[in-house]
Amino acid sequence: MKLSFRKDLSIASLVSESNWNKIKVHTLLQNSERKQPSINAYLGARYSRSADSIIDIANEIVKNNTDAAERLEKIFTGYGHKSVGDMADLFVCIENIPMYVAMKLFYMTSVVSGQERSTRYQDFENPEFVKIPREICEDSEIRKGYERVILKQMSDYREMMRPTREALEKSFQINSESQQEVSALKSRTFDVARYLLPFGLNTSSAYLMSARNWSDIISYLCSSNSVVENEVYTLLLNLLGESKLDIKGYTREADGLIRHTDPNCSRQMSTKEILEYIEKDISRKQIKDLPGSECESVAVTYAPDCTETLVSHYELLLNPLGSQEEFEFSERDQEKIGDILFQRHNHHNMLGNIGQSGAIRISGFASLGTLKDLNRHRSLERFIPLFHEELDMDQELDREDDQCFFLCNYLDLPNLSTLRKEYVSRLESTYRLIREWRKNALKVLGRDVCDEYTKYLLPHAHSTKYVFYGSFDDLQYLINLRTRNGGHIAYRKLVYEWLRKLSVKDFIWKPLLRNIVEPKINDKHQFIDRS
Q: Which is nearest to 353 in space by CA: 321, 385, 315?
A: 385
- pLDDT tens per residue across span 58-89: 887 778 777 776 777 666 555 555 677 788 89
How far apart are alpha carbons 301 and 501 in whole angstroms? 10
* pTM score: 0.91
CB 427 within 8 A of CB 192: no
At residue 4, φ and ψ (nearest 5 deg) are -140, 160
Q: Which of 117-121, 146-150, 341-345, 508-512 has the highest mean pLDDT?
A: 146-150
pLDDT band at 291 (very low <50, low <70, confident <90, very high): very high
- Residue 123: pLDDT band (50, 70, 90) is low
**Which architecture characterizes domain 266-399+463-528 according to CATH?**
2-Layer Sandwich (3.30)
pLDDT digits (tens, 9 = 90+) for 300-356: 998 677 888 888 999 999 999 999 888 888 888 888 898 998 888 876 778 888 888
Mean pLDDT, range 491-514, rounded to an integer: 93
Q: In this structure, are residues 83 and 347 in contact, taking their beta carbons and an 8 Å threshold? A: no
Q: Which of 122-136, 276-290, 430-444, 471-485 has the lowest mean pLDDT?
A: 122-136
The residue among 255, 333, 327 whose CA lies nearest residue 285 is: 327
Query: Considering only 12-16, 40-44, 259-263, 482-486, which range has the smallest mean pLDDT?
Result: 40-44
Longest dimension (CA), the chain: 75
CA distance 343 to 366: 35
Return the percentage of the chain with pLDDT > 70, whole number: 96
pLDDT of residue 79: 52
pLDDT > 70? residue 55: yes
Integer Cα distance of 230 and 391 in angstroms: 19
Which pLDDT value is given to residue 53? 87
- Higher-confidence residue of 416 and 343: namely 416
Residues 363-412: pLDDT tens digits? 999 999 999 999 988 888 999 999 999 999 999 999 999 999 999 999 99
Mean pLDDT of 221-243: 93
Count the neighbouring beta carbons within 10 Å of the beta carbon of residue 405: 23
- Cβ neighbours of residue 92 under 8 Å, at least 6 residues apart? 25, 26, 27, 206, 207, 208, 209, 214, 236, 239, 240
Q: In whole angstroms, what separates CA 413 from the centre of its chain?
A: 30
Integer Cα distance of 321 and 323 in angstroms: 7
**Residue 481 identity:** L
Q: Which of 110-124, 250-264, 379-393 has the lowest mean pLDDT?
A: 110-124
Residue 188's pLDDT is: 96
Q: What's the CA angle centered on 204, arms 149 and 191, to 5 degrees?
A: 65
Could you count the other beta carbons within 10 Å of the beta carbon of residue 247? 13
Which residues make beta-bridge pairs with 198?
459
More confident residue, 510 or 21: 510
pLDDT higher than threshold 90 for residue 115: no
Torsion of CA 318, 321, 322, 325, to 10 degrees: -80
> Is residue 304 within 8 Å of 381, Cβ to Cβ?
no
Pick the closest to residue 200 from 233, 138, 256, 151 (CA basis). Answer: 151
Q: What is the C-alpha to C-alpha distance for residues 299 and 307, in angstroms, rounded to an integer?
A: 19
Task: Give SS3 for 303.
Answer: coil
d(CA 207, CA 91): 6
Mention every residue, 6+ apart, whose C-beta is less than 8 A from residue 82: 76, 212, 259, 260, 348
What is the pLDDT confidence band of residue 418, given thresholds at 50, 70 and 90? very high
- Give the H/E segment covering residue 145: helix 140-171
H or E, element range at 400: none
User: Residue range 497-511: average pLDDT?
Assistant: 92
Please check whether residue 321 is in contact with residue 275, taking contact to mean a CB–CB distance below 8 angstroms: no
What percentage of residues in the chain have a pLDDT greater than 90? 62
Considering the chain, what is the average pLDDT of its residues?
A: 90
Average pLDDT over residues 405-424: 98
Predicted confidence band of residue 264 (pLDDT cuts 50, 70, 90):
confident
Structural contact between residues 44 and 89, judged by C-beta atoms closer than 8 angstroms: no
3-class DSSP state for residue 80?
Answer: coil
Sheet order of strands, 11-15 included: 2-6, 11-15, 24-28, 89-98, 202-210, 113-116
CA 218 to chain centre: 16
Q: Where in the chain is the domain with CATH 3.30.1360?
A: 2-119+202-257, 266-399+463-528
> Which CATH number does 2-119+202-257 carry?
3.30.1360
In one-letter notation, the amino acid at residue 467 is: V
Residue 102 pLDDT greater than 90, yes or no: yes
Residue 423 pLDDT level (bands cut at 50, 70, 90):
very high
